[in-house]
Amino acid sequence: MEELGAIGIFLFVLFLLLGSGVWVGLALLGVAFVGMVLFASRPPGDAMVTTIWTASSSWTLTALPLFIWMGEILFRSRLSEDMFRGLSPWMARLPGGLVHTNIVGCAVFAAVSGSSAATLTTVGKMSIPELRRRNYPETMIIGTLAGAATLGLMIPPSLTLIVYGVTINESIRKLFLAGVLPGIVLALMFMAYVAIMSRLSKNFNPDAEPRTSFMQKLKNSRYLLPVVALIMLVIGSMYAGWATATEAAAFGVLGSLALAATQGSLNWHTFTESLMGATRTSAMIALILAGAAFLSLSMGFTGLPRALADFIATLNLSRFELLLALLVFYIVLGCFLDGISSVVLTMAVVEPMIREAGIDVIWFGIFVVVAVEMAQITPPIGFNLFVLQGMTEHEMGYIAKAAIPMFLIMVLMVFVLIAFPQLATWLPDTMRASPG
């Protein structure tokens, strides 16, 4: 009964603060402070300072601003134009044609960004005008962009996986490797949907692309070489065991600076803009992490996480039933919070549950990422929907409707992960043991 009262107080204060427009990180700190005052004998100020410092001074967390900076640099480069030039000759002959450049382009940029919004903006600013000019269906252009951009949350370097790893104190490198195969499978599922709909839809009548020879395709592929080299530098160095996630992030920043300089898009203005953009985003995420760490400490004094884990255990849910319940929970939560906030807000309660159920925490990280990916394209807070609204000037309802097939494919992906957990565990299990 005491735990129910604590839940009620925590939720009331949280929704009061969030509803009043307070930043998520400050709202979490406020809820935690109230919890410490009501349920703990320890001075809340001392506990808050100690917890915030501990959460903010993690060495693993240094990878976060570096990967964000790498994405900011590439966002301001000519990478989107080069990717479209390199990919379009190969995609044109596939069923669905150049719509596939949305999906493959997002997958490629996700491998050097880690941000869903950056992926969407970078790929969309080039592909939307080009696909419209070729008379591709507007709903398919928007839907595939909305869905494929979420690959930035799964394919390493993923900011959400970094936050998840820091929150539960797990290897970032293992989580990155766990996201590779599921990210590729999800991209292929998106492409399969496009191929099927291009055959079934009566509205799919794009202009025919001129035929190009194999040698011309190879020649155009040279535009992809810099980004492929950057992916190999970042992901390859981690897989080979040559670098930790933080070291790979540093390599990525240097590589992206070199790429931007080679393209002629690096100047003092773009350098400072990318640095300030990375600083703003990193500060926002760090504040959320600090608030979540203090909230976890505060909730620990109430015994709430353990009590909830024990309550779930008494329900005798099977592993599958527990995962379905968590999937619904994260989908609903994602309608009101962004992915990173959803992860850090819930891990204090969810982590004991999954460990009690014997669920692999690396695998669960990918499960959570797929669930919060859906939050990017679900109203009313779906961030990708807002980005697309600004880029296309369509109504929010139109964009959300276009994204529904992508949402359903992500739901299907969850069941694929449950049926074939090796998709997420095989690469980390084969990775050479070294600190990450």
pTM of the model: 0.80
Which whole-number Å values give the CA distances from 352 to 42, 186, 289, 326, 345, in the listed order?
A: 24, 28, 19, 13, 14
The reply to whether 11 falls in a domain is: no
Query: Own/partner pairs for 63-66, CB < 8 Å, 24+ apart?
Result: 63/157, 63/162, 63/172, 63/244, 63/245, 63/246, 63/248, 63/249, 64/159, 64/162, 64/163, 64/166, 64/282, 64/285, 64/286, 65/278, 65/279, 65/282, 66/246, 66/249, 66/250, 66/252, 66/253
Mean pLDDT for 192-199 is 91
In this model, does residue 418 exceed pLDDT 90? yes
The reply to whether 310 falls in a domain is: yes
- Nearest in space to 394 (alpha carbons), one of 145, 100, 203: 145
Is the link from the previous residue into 157 a cis peptide, with omega within 30 of 0? yes
pLDDT of 306: 64
Token pair for residue 177?
């490797």
For 280-303, how does the pLDDT look when each residue is reduced to its tens digit (9 = 90+)? 888 877 887 788 778 777 777 766
CB 174 within 8 A of CB 431: yes
For 313-346, how does the pLDDT look when each residue is reduced to its tens digit (9 = 90+)? 677 778 888 899 888 888 877 776 667 777 877 8
In this model, does residue 187 exceed pLDDT 80? yes
Confidence of residue 434 (pLDDT cuts 50, 70, 90): very low
Calpha distance 179→245 (Å, rounded)? 14
Which whole-number Å values give the CA distances from 45 to 16, 30, 33, 293, in the listed order?
A: 22, 12, 8, 14
The reply to whether 244 falls in a domain is: yes
Mean pLDDT for 406-420 is 93
- Name the region of 395 (left: φ>0; alpha: ψ -120 to 50; beta: rest): beta
Average pLDDT, the chain: 81
In this model, does residue 182 exceed pLDDT 90? yes
The reply to whether 133 falls in a domain is: yes
pLDDT of 6: 63
* Three-state secondary structure of the chain: CHHHHHHHHHHHHHHHHHHCCCCHHHHHHHHHHHHHHHHCCCCHHHHHHHHHHHHHCCCHHHHHHHHHHHHHHHHCCCHHHHHHHHHHHHHCCCCCCCHHHHHHHHHHHHCCCCCHHHHHHHHHHHHHHHHHHCCCCHHHHHHHHHHHHHHHHCCCCCHHHHHHHHHHCCCHHHHHHHHHHHHHHHHHHHHHHHHHHHHHCCCCCCCCCCCCCHHHHHHHHHHHHHHHHHHHHHHHHHHCCCCCHHHHHHHHHHHHHHHHHHHCCCCHHHHHHHHHHHHHHHHHHHHHHHHHHHHHHHHHHHCHHHHHHHHHHHCCCCHHHHHHHHHHHHHHHHCCCCHHHHHHHHHHHHHHHHHHCCCCHHHHHHHHHHHHHHHCCCCCCCHHHHHHHHHHCCCHHHHHHHHHHHHHHHHHHHHHHHHCCHHHHHHHHHCCCCCC
For 196-254, how does the pLDDT look when each residue is reduced to its tens digit (9 = 90+)? 998 888 888 887 777 778 788 888 888 888 888 888 888 888 777 788 878 888 888 99
The reply to whether 296 falls in a domain is: yes
Confidence of residue 310 (pLDDT cuts 50, 70, 90): low
Instruction: Give the whole-number percent of the chain exceeding pLDDT 70.
Output: 91
Listed in sequence order, the residues at least 6 apart from 83 whose beta carbon sits closer than 8 Å to its beta carbon are 101, 105, 108, 109, 123, 126, 223, 224, 227
- Name the region of 331 (left: φ>0; alpha: ψ -120 to 50; beta: rest): alpha
The reply to whether 300 falls in a domain is: yes
Confidence of residue 435 (pLDDT cuts 50, 70, 90): very low
In this model, does residue 436 exceed pLDDT 50? no
Calpha distance 432→173 (Å, rounded)? 11
Count: domains in the chain: 1
The reply to whether 195 falls in a domain is: yes
The reply to whether 272 falls in a domain is: yes
Token pair for residue 376?
């990017």
Confidence of residue 415 (pLDDT cuts 50, 70, 90): very high
pLDDT of 96: 84
- Nearest in space to 309 (alpha carbons), one of 348, 366, 360: 348
Mean pLDDT for 154-168 is 84
Instruction: Give the whole-number percent of the chain exceeding pLDDT 90.
Output: 11
CB 160 within 8 A of CB 153: yes
The CA radius of gyration of the chain, in Å to the nearest whole number, is 22
Give the residue with greater pLDDT, 3 vs 419.
419
Q: How far is CA 239 from the centre of its chain?
A: 20
Confidence of residue 361 (pLDDT cuts 50, 70, 90): very high
For 85-119, how does the pLDDT look when each residue is reduced to its tens digit (9 = 90+)? 888 888 888 888 888 988 988 888 888 776 777 78
Confidence of residue 307 (pLDDT cuts 50, 70, 90): low
Mean pLDDT for 10-27 is 74
- Nearest in space to 310 (alpha carbons), one of 247, 240, 357, 342: 357
pLDDT of 252: 87
Confidence of residue 304 (pLDDT cuts 50, 70, 90): low
pLDDT of 158: 81
Domain range for 370 is 28-430
pLDDT of 431: 66
pLDDT of 238: 77
Calpha distance 433→436 (Å, rounded)? 9
Least confident of 276-280, 313-317, 423-427: 313-317
Give the residue with greater pLDDT, 382 vs 206.
206
